[in-house]
Amino acid sequence: MRVAVAAPLLGTFDYWPPLAPCGTDAVPPRAGWVPGVRVLVPFGRSRRVGVLLELATTTEQDPTSLKHIERVLDPQPLLAAVDLVLIRWAADYYCQPLGEALFTALPVRLRRPRALDLEQERGVAATAAGRVLDLAELRRAPKQRALLTVIRAAGSGIGRAELTRQLGSCQPALRHLRARGLIEDCSIVPGVPAAATGVRAAPADAGPDLNPHQVEVVNQVTQAFGQFRSFLLEGVTGSGKTEVYIRLIQAAAARGEQTLLIVPEIGLTPQLRQQLAARLPFAPAVLHSGISDGERERTWHQVAAGRSEILLGTRSAIFTPLPRLGLILVDEEHDTSLKQQDGFRYSARDVAVRRAQLVGCPVVLGSATPALETLHNAQLGRYGWLRLPVRAGAAAPPRIALLDIRNQPLQAGLSGVLRESMRGEIASGNQVLLFLNRRGYAPVLTCHACGWVGECLHCDARLTLHLARRRLWCHHCGWFQPLPRACPSCGDADLRMLGQGTERLDDELRALFPATAIARLDRDTTRRQGELARLLEAVRRGEVQILLGTQMLAKGHDFPRVTLVGILDLDQSLYASDFRAPERTAQLIVQVTGRAGRAERPGRVVLQTRHPEHPLLQSLLRDGYAGFAAAALAERQEAELPPFSHLALLRAEAPMPEVPMAFLMSARTHAEVLREPDVHLWGPIPAPMERRAARYRAQLLVQSPRRGPLRRLLAGWTRALHALPRPRGLRWSLDIDPQDMS
Ligand SMILES: Nc1ncnc2c1ncn2[C@@H]1O[C@H](COP(=O)(O)OP(=O)(O)OP(=O)(O)O)[C@@H](O)[C@H]1O
Ligand SMILES: [Zn+2]
């Protein structure tokens, strides 16, 4: 039997089937040997959990050396055949050990050698009649009404214990509902698929009438139901993409199919989740990094058993089994957090497309600022290209003004023009949003006497001053030191703070606008659980007049009362060295800009800059994101950069600088032998930030105009890399389609 073991080793391992239990002649039930079950296997001197892949009849290993599987852990496979195919594809494409990929796809708790807790729980589910009943008919029976609401929201089953926990004792009301044929008993068993519901229940709130563009998009996608098709949904900010997703989810559910909705970050989901809950007759299952391992495992089983119509999740949810999957949606598909940056480095967006292809269902990649790769695929006709060119409802697109701040007196980093505009908007009862993509108080602390600058001991980076916490803090490795009272170098007391972060902006705004409610949204103010949702809610309720923050603000929020957006300091990113920097900057500007004027009140954007003539800003202003993207794609083509070539980045790091370079040199030697003529090797060179967290980092870039030769090189190279001697302290990783070259 062929097994993938939870270990960072390439390849699979063969075992004999499990032996009969001691003292019996009984052959263990063969029926349990189904690919996709977890098994416990002896591995070296220890035991490991693995996943059974195949019932092979031959082996390339020496049969006499094979050991027996110790135990089959699961009564049914956790992963269906199609899930195994997807994960094997991803492991292969991203050059990752299959065991690692498999166990990334499974909830953490399932990596432990513990049998599933399959104790059945008695529960109830709404019948077809119960799902469509107008709840008003139960107004004289409030307990029954509350019960039915909860039972309907739970999808196709909720345990008795959970019901009692939520609503107290409810036996009589349950009896009545059952007698009226509105609910029925069921058992809640992880791993046992419930029948597809397929019933279209009336949503709690019907939502707005779609505009003609939205109707067209919904039609195009629903026509593709039941077959593989990828779509780019390019919808300007505020064009009602969410509304389109909701209609598509409903349409899929009406066919008895599940939807997988992937979003980049959980910061987006408090609002999205509420919207989905309000509009759909079934509660979305939610998977993201902020939930406990136990909850993750429960949700995972619930979805895998087909007991949820929709799974809303961040990147790793892309591998969750969905037996009735009929639609995949990826929102904000341009967002870099869809790409995992450590361990198993995969792009949830690209895996989504592959998954849709394997399942045979449509996939929709939505964004106001599509990634250049995705645009390119749409231009080539590989993806259907759907557009929402106007804002939904009554909203107009915001007007953008570049504000040259050279020789302008700034207060709190704000020019006079911006300050005056802010006063006007606040006086009219509107909200203002200020975007400053740098957290902390000031990015630099320096000594006026000797020029000392606070630097990280472990990184090639400056320390950011956090005044409220009286710390100098490294944003790269997390190291910090207490705020010095005098210069650590010369002892002078004249220490100065240079530059502005959100903490400082917050302080200075409070002095400039004393009677105004100000809220700051960044990683420091939203560290506590639930704080982000609370802040967003306060903004939506109009309790905040000035909202300031980092790129967290750019993430798809709907702030209907914001009429003015100020972009304070993006000049640095205009000149960053990464070839993707212009794309990211343009996306950030357009996304932040898109928070203005989303409802009836028109929006304005003021972009402060010392480089008003910069071509990126000019093309964005003149031609919008589409014009910028066209120009940027032409430049990429010229420079033979993605999507006009394909990249793989081999990174290495170690406590000594020569170690990663030497490793990459020998890696290069192997690649030279394997490469076809048009595959290029660049490096090794030290990484842009060479030292980080006390480790020296270097990289070797592989570039190929076509994917085929790159894939052929990678196949042999990955094996060679795993076989290379690994000096102590060396870590290396291979990143396919790298997004971040730092
Ligand atoms: N057909 C419609 N008629 C009226 N209002 C609508 C319609 N569709 C959506 N809206 C409203 O328009 C606003 C913007 O919609 P939504 O948040 O879905 O936009 P979006 O395309 O996701 O924007 P972004 O890319 O900025 O996140 C919401 O308040 C939504 O309720
Ligand atoms: Zn550091």
* 361 carries a ligand binding annotation: no
Kindly state whether residue 14 falls inside one of the protein's structural domains.
yes
| Residue-number span of the structural domain to which 567 is assigned | 399-439+501-639
Q: 687 alpha carbon to ligand 2 midpoint, in Å? A: 15
- Please answer whether residues 298 and 286 qualify as being in contact, where contact means their C-beta atoms are separated by less than 8 angstroms: no
370 and 222 part of one domain? yes
If you take atom 3 of ligand 1, which residue's CA is the nearest one? 393
β-sheet bridge partners, residue 442: 465
CB distance 237 to ligand 1 below 6 Å? yes
Q: Are residues 227 and 292 in the same domain?
A: yes
- Do 366 and 326 fall into the same domain? yes
- Residue pair 403/418 in contact (Cβ under 8 Å)? The answer is yes
- Complex-level ipTM: 0.97
Contact between residue 433 and residue 559 where contact means Cβ atoms under 8 Å apart: yes
Element (H, E) at 200: none
**Ligand-binding site membership of 447 (annotated):** yes
Regarding whether 333 and 256 lie in a shared domain, the answer is yes
C-alpha 466 to ligand 2 mean position (Å): 15
Contact in structure between 359 and 351 (CB atoms under 8 Å): no
Considering the domain architecture, whether residues 366 and 405 belong to the same structural domain is answered as no
Distance 258 CA to ligand 2 centre (A): 44
- Report which of 354, 363, 317, 360 is spatially closest to residue 338, judged by C-alpha positions: 317
pLDDT attached to residue 1: 79
208: Cβ below 6 Å to ligand 1?
Answer: yes
Q: What is the DSSP letter of 594?
A: T
Contact at 8 Å (CB) between 263 and 331?
Answer: yes
Q: Are residues 377 and 405 in the same domain?
A: no
pLDDT at 513: 93
d(CA 71, CA 52): 11
Q: How many CB atoms lie within 10 A of CB 339?
A: 19
What residue's CA is closest to ligand 1, atom 15?
Answer: 240
- From 388, 416, 450, the end of a domain falls on 388
Let me know whether 148 and 235 are in one domain. no
Please give the distance, rounded to the nearest whole angstrom, from the Cα atom of residue 701 to the centre of ligand 2. 25
Is 22 annotated to bind a ligand? Reply is no
Ligand 1 centroid distance, CA of 91 (Å): 37
The answer to the question of whether 490 is labelled as a binding residue is: yes
Closest CA to 72 of 50, 94, 44, 87: 50
Report H helices in 513-570: 531-540
Residues whose CB falls within 8 Å of the CB of residue 167, separated by 6 or more in sequence, listed in order:
143, 146, 147, 150
456 annotated ligand-binding residue: yes
| CATH number (domain holding residue 310) | 3.40.50.300
Element (H, E) at 124: strand 121-126
Structural domain includes residue 535 = yes
How many Cβ atoms sit within 10 Å of the Cβ of residue 302? 20
Decide if 533 is inside a domain.
yes
603 within ligand 1 shell (Cβ under 6 A): no
Q: Are residues 616 and 698 in the same domain?
A: no
Does residue 308's CB lie within 6 angstroms of at least one atom of ligand 1?
no
Domain end: 616, 639, 662, which one? Answer: 639
Of 174, 125, 122, which Cα lies nearest the Cα of 146?
174
Type and span of the H or E element at 655 = none
User: Does residue 370 have its Cβ closer than 6 Å to ligand 1?
Assistant: no
Q: Is residue 85 part of a domain?
A: yes
Nearest alpha carbon, ligand 1 atom 26: 237
Question: Do residue 515 and residue 577 come from a single domain?
Answer: yes
Whether residue 585 is found in the same domain as residue 523 = yes
Residue 517 lies in a domain: yes
Residues 543 and 675 in one domain: no
Averaged pLDDT, groups of 10, the chain, 742 residues long:
76 78 54 80 83 80 79 84 93 91 84 64 79 83 85 74 74 87 72 37 72 96 97 93 95 94 78 84 85 85 89 94 96 94 92 97 97 97 95 78 89 91 93 93 93 93 93 93 92 91 94 92 84 87 93 82 90 85 92 81 88 89 90 93 96 94 95 93 93 95 95 93 91 94 82
> Is 312 within the bounds of a domain?
yes
State which ligand 1 atom lies nearest to the alpha carbon of 237.
26
> What gap in Å lies between CA 717 and CA 671, rounded to an integer?
6
Asked if residue 329 and residue 413 are part of one domain, the reply reads no
CATH number at residue 37: 3.40.1440.60
CA torsion sign, 305 to 311 to 317 to 318? Answer: positive
Tell the residue nearest (CA) to atom 30 of ligand 1: 240
Give the residue from 497, 469, 495 showing the smallest Cα distance to 482.
469
Cβ atoms within 10 Å, residue 277: 15
Instruction: Please tell me whether 487 is known to bind a ligand.
Output: yes
The response to whether residue 413 sits with its C-beta less than 6 Å from ligand 1 reads no
**Nearest ligand 1 atom, CA 211:** 1
User: How many CB atoms sit inside 10 A of residue 569's CB?
Assistant: 19
Q: Establish whether residue 302 lines the binding site of ligand 1, counting it when its CB lies within 6 angstroms of any ligand atom.
A: no
Number of domain units in the chain: 5
Centre of ligand 1 from the C-alpha of residue 132, in Å? 27
Question: Is residue 732 one of the residues assigned to a domain?
Answer: yes
Q: How far apart, in whole angstroms, are the C-alpha atoms of residue 384 and residue 315?
A: 23
pLDDT for res 533? 82
Quickly tell me which residue has 């080793």 as its tokens: 9
* Residue 367 counted as domain residue: yes
Nearest CA to ligand 1 atom 28: 240
Residue ending a domain, choose from 617, 639, 661: 639
